[in-house]
């Protein structure tokens, strides 16, 4: 991913194929409201919002290598910000969504000062503590409606509009991740991920690199929170800060492939399909997802997308042969620690 070597005059065949698939998927998705039932448009909206959260976690947990357990908090803050803005001001809804992203980003910038000093598991549990603290605070905060939360008046936004908005944000989040992966900023956070001390020694300001990854991640998480609220105009602390939001994003990224652009997309679709299939069976989906995640960690540490790209199971090998891409040298992505 990192060292593509000198740029070639013609893009790789696999790149063209990938681009074609992406365009087709996008066209199919954008035409969705034309042929999908109300129920499916509804599900699509939720799926795209989940993709936004997954990609937002992918930035901090994947590319920057900081295993955050506080993503629910950022999503919840975005939701509360939207609710409070809409209830207490005349700001139009589209600006409220953007502002909510900024609120989450500013909150992350403040939280970053203590928690980004922490490394490894200390950061993980530090962010979990923050998430639980914010949730505990919301339960007693009068202005936020305590345990009852806040109810918005009817927003009257067409379902198709919600669908397009969520889809657009999901596309933007994915494009941002793809762009970040190619920039020097992306290289810096990946250097931090691979070896923070080494990164520091070659002159990377590791705090600043992690800071912007965290803030950018929070921006998208906050917007996702706003989208969830618009979809269902009621918010209360238990649902808004539900730890399962973070779980879904983390599982999706790990299953699909951390630090890849496509992996979290695949992962989120898999997670969402399993969740929907077992909707009426309680927590079975979570059991299955947890086990799938463990299997992926054990068998395919680079995730399903990594497995596909590497050649993966025999079926894929034959596909690669058909596409004449076999034998093309691929840059090895290894960390200096391996």
Partner 1 sequence: MNELINGILLGGLYAAVSLGMTLVFGVMRLVNLAHGEWVIGAAYFSSVITSRLGLDPLTSLVITIPVVMVVGYVIQRSILNQLLLRGSEPPLVATFGIGIVAQAVFTLIFTGNVKSLDAGWASTGVSIFGETVRTAFVICFGVGVFLVVLLQIGLTRTSFGASLRAASEDPEAAESIGINVRHVYALTMAIAAAISAVAGVLIGTTFSVTPLTGLNWLVVSFTVAVLGGLGSPIGALVGGLVTGLVQTYTGALLGANYNNLVVYGLLVVALVLLPRGIIGRKSM
Q: Which chain residues interact with partner 1 by CB under 8 A?
A: 65, 67, 69, 114-115, 117-118, 120-122, 124-126, 128-130, 132-133, 136-137, 139-140, 243, 247, 250-251, 254, 282-287, 289-291, 293-294, 297-298, 301, 337-338
CB of 17 to partner 1, least distance (A): 31
Query: From the CB of 215, what's the least distance to partner 1, in Å?
Result: 18
Closest to partner 1 by CB, 86 or 189 = 189
For residue 169 the two structure tokens come to 């944000």
In the bound state with partner 1, the residue whose beta carbon lies nearer, of 100 and 124, is: 124
Which residue number, 279 or 323, has a Cβ lying nearer to partner 1? 279
* Minimum distance of partner 1 from residue 135's CB (angstroms): 9
Beta bridge mates, 234: 151
Q: Compute the least distance from the CB of residue 286 to partner 1, in Å.
A: 4
CB of 306 to partner 1, least distance (A): 14
Q: Which of 186, 178, 188 is nearest to 262 (CA)?
A: 178
Q: What is the DSSP letter of 145?
A: T
Contacts of 92 (CB under 8 A, 6+ apart): none
Nearer to partner 1, 139 or 178 (CB): 139
**Closer residue to partner 1 in complex, CB, 167/293:** 293
In order of 135, 196, 237, the CA distances from 114 in angstroms are 18, 17, 24
- Closest by alpha carbon to 170, among 249, 257, 112, 102? 249
Backbone dihedral angles phi then psi of residue 283, each to the nearest 5 degrees:
-90, 10
131: its two tokens: 């998430």
Asked if 75 and 221 touch (Cβ cutoff 8 Å), the reply is yes
């Amino acid at each position: 991913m990192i060292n593509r070597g000198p740029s070639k005059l013609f893009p790789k065949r696999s790149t063209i194929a990938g681009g074609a698939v992406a365009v087709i998927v996008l066209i199919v998705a954008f035409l969705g409201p034309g042929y999908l039932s109300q129920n499916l448009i509804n599900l699509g909206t939720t799926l795209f919002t989940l993709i936004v959260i997954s990609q937002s976690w992918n930035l901090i947990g994947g590319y920057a290598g900081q295993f955050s357990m506080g993503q629910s908090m950022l999503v919840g803050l975005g939701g509360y910000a939207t609710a409070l803005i809409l209830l207490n001001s005349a700001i139009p809804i589209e600006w409220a969504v953007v502002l909510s992203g900024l609120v989450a980003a500013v909150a992350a910038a403040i939280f970053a000062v203590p928690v980004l000093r922490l490394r490894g598991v200390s950061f993980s549990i530090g962010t979990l503590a923050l998430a639980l603290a914010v949730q505990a605070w919301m339960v007693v905060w009068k202005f936020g409606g305590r345990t009852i939360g806040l109810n918005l008046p009817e927003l009257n936004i067409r379902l198709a509009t919600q669908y397009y908005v969520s889809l657009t944000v999901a596309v933007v989040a994915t494009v941002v991740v793809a762009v970040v992966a190619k920039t020097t900023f992306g290289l810096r956070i990946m250097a931090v991920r691979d070896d923070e001390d080494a990164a520091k020694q070659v002159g990377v300001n590791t705090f600043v690199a992690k800071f912007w990854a965290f803030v950018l991640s929070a921006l998208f998480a906050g917007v996702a929170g706003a989208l969830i609220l618009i979809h269902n105009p009621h918010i209360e602390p238990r649902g808004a800060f539900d730890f399962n939001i973070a779980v879904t994003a983390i599982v999706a990224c790990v299953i699909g492939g951390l630090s890849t652009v496509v992996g979290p997309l695949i992962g989120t679709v898999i997670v969402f399909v399993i969740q929907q299939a077992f909707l009426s069976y309680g927590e079975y989906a979570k059991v299955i997802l947890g086990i799938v995640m463990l299997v992926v960690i054990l068998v395919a540490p680079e995730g399903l997308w990594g497995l596909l790209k590497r050649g993966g199971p025999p079926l894929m090998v034959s596909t690669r042969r058909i596409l004449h891409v076999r034998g093309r040298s691929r840059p090895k992505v290894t960390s200096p620690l391996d």
